[in-house]
């Protein structure tokens, strides 16, 4: 392991451009890749290319699908070495965070070889077709229809809250293929190109002023049959499996720096004993800080117990619930610490406190509301009756 660390450190030293070792300060600093991506800099392009070629954008995926082929211990070392030099993630990707694990588990060999390498290298950007106008918390009540036409499916319907679907290349999509079966039994998991005829998208402006989500409409979209993942009408299991990865990812927003209290004290002032001068705000920040430190310890434990596969089942609902509630509270406390400046609308689409706070309110809604997570914990973990 020492040898691996040494080699990794040297490789990163040689290959991570200096400008990629600075903190992310705006949306543009984050690289999402894909056909439509306009790189913010040559360094951003190089960093993705070098990491992608090594498979280190998806360090634990198998080599045969262009992944890094690393053990979970090696991947942890890689992450430590990236953190050590303050390197940015070369790629932010729903393909890596969500779709990949589902394909590795449920896709055919041919599908894996077809789709995974483009995810690793950041060539195809994926979006998620889950929620519908009338299927939010009741996700399995979705109505988007895919008629079986033999060699293809004909897809009609609408999705909503499809993150960045206007900038994405492909979609992983839940569709109903059997209207007579019970609602969980008639759902299929399919993949298709967003450039297909009949696909249209419309960005939705949020209370934060930005438009990360879209409405996405399908009007007689032809999807080749080979793009079906798993068995026909058995897609709900895949959908739920993928959700555990989404929830784990969203939960990670709740881990974070320990500097909130000190930053507030720097802004507001300290009493002679060194305590934040506003005692009531201090008490609220302490309560948050204790919870966040405990949440980080819990997250670390969950990932250690999961080992390399990263499958955590219902525990991901704990991560999702607690992490997103913490993230909302973090912004709320930052707003309180900032005083009257907090409500300034600010320039641009991101990076201003008021806009980030407004965006954070969606954290406990997207990916399954907090209430849905508590339902999952109550039923699947605690075994409380339906």
Partner 1 sequence: MTSMLSEEQLLLRDSARSFLEARSPVAELRRMRDAGESWSPRLWSEMAAMGWTGVVVPEEFGGLGFGCVGAGQIFEQCGHTLANSPLMASAVVGAKLVEALGSPELKSSLLPMLASGESILCPALAEGERWALEDANTTARAEADGYVLTGTKSQLAFAEAADHFLVSARIAGNGPGHGGLSLFLLNAGHPGLSVESRLKIDSFSSSQLRLDSVRVGPQARLGEPGKAWPAIREAAEAGAACSAAELLGMASEAFQRTLDYLKQREQFGRPIGSFQALQHRAALLHCELELTSSVVLQALQACEAAATSASMLANLAKARAVKTAQLAVNEAVQMHGGIGMTDEFDIGLFLKRANAAFAEFGGYHYHADRFALQRNY
The residue ranges that bind partner 1 (CB under 8 A) are: 258, 261-262, 264-265, 270, 273-276, 282-283, 285-287, 289-291, 293-295, 297-298, 300-301, 304-305, 318, 321-322, 371, 373-375, 377-379, 381-386
3-state secondary structure of 129: strand
Shortest CB 150 distance to partner 1, Å: 45
User: Whole-number minimum distance, CB 302 to partner 1, in Å?
Assistant: 9
End-to-end CA, the chain: 48
How many CB atoms are closer than 10 A to CB 375? 16
Whichever of 163 and 369 has its CB closer to partner 1, that residue is: 369
Closer residue to partner 1, CB minimum distance, 84 or 379: 379
- Nearest distance in Å: CB 304, partner 1: 5
Tokens 């070629």 belong to 53
The per-residue DSSP string of 273-309 comes to: TS-BS-HHHHHHHHHHHHHHHHHHHHHHHHHHHHGGG
State in angstroms the smallest separation of the CB of 268 from partner 1: 9
Q: Cβ 309 to partner 1, closest distance in Å?
A: 17
For partner 1, which is the closer residue by CB, 23 or 385? 385
Closest approach of Cβ 343 to partner 1, in Å? 23
Q: CA-to-CA distance for 213 and 327, rounded, in angstroms?
A: 19
**Sign of the C-alpha dihedral computed for residues 166, 168, 170 and 171 taken in this order:** negative
Cα 122 from Cα 56, distance rounded (Å): 11
Phi, psi (deg, nearest 5) at residue 213: -110, 155
Helix axes 279-306 and 260-268, enclosed angle (nearest 10): 160
**Judged by CB, which is closer to partner 1: 167, or 289?**
289
* Tokens (6 digits) for 218: 């399908």
**Closest to partner 1 by CB, 133 or 339:** 339
For partner 1, the closer CB: 77 or 96: 77
89: DSSP letter: P
């Amino acid at each position: 392991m020492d040898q691996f660390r040494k080699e990794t450190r040297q490789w990163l030293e040689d290959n991570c451009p200096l400008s990629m070792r600075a903190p992310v300060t705006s949306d543009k600093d984050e690289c999402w890749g894909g056909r439509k991506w306009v790189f913010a800099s040559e360094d951003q392009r190089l960093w993705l290319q070098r990491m992608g070629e090594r498979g280190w954008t998806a360090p634990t995926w198998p080599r045969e699908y262009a992944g890094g082929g690393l053990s979970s211990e090696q991947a942890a070392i890689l992450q430590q070495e990236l953190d050590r030099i303050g390197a940015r993630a070369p790629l932010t990707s729903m393909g890596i965070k969500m779709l990949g694990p589902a394909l590795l588990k449920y896709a055919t060999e041919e599908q894996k070889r077809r789709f995974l390498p483009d995810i690793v290298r950041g060539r195809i950007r994926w979006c998620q077709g889950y929620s519908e106008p009338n299927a939010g918390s009741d996700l399995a009540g979705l109505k988007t229809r895919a008629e079986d036409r033999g060699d293809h499916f004909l897809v009609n319907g609408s999705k909503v809250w499809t993150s960045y679907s206007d900038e994405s290349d492909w979609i992983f999509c839940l569709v109903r293929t059997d209207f007579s079966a019970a609602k969980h039994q008639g759902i299929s998991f399919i993949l298709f190109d967003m450039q297909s005829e009949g696909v249209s998208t419309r960005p939705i402006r949020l209370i934060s002023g930005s438009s990360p989500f879209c409405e996405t409409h399908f009007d007689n979209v032809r999807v080749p049959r080979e793009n079906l993942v798993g068995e026909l009408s058995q897609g709900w299991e895949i959908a739920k499996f993928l959700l555990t990865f989404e929830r784990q990812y969203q939960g990670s927003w709740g881990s974070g720096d320990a500097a909130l209290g000190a930053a507030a004290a720097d802004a507001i002032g300290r009493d002679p004993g060194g305590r934040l001068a506003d005692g009531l705000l201090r008490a609220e920040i302490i309560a948050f800080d204790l919870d966040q430190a405990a949440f980080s310890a819990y997250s670390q434990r969950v990932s250690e117990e999961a080992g390399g596969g990263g499958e955590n089942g219902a525990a991901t609902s704990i991560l999702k619930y607690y992490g997103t509630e913490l993230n909302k509270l973090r912004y709320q406390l930052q707003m309180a610490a900032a005083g009257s400046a907090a409500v300034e609308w600010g320039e641009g689409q991101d990076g201003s406190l008021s806009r980030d706070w407004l965006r954070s309110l969606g954290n406990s809604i997207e990916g399954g509301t907090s209430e849905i997570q508590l339902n999952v914990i109550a039923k699947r973990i605690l075994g409380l009756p339906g």
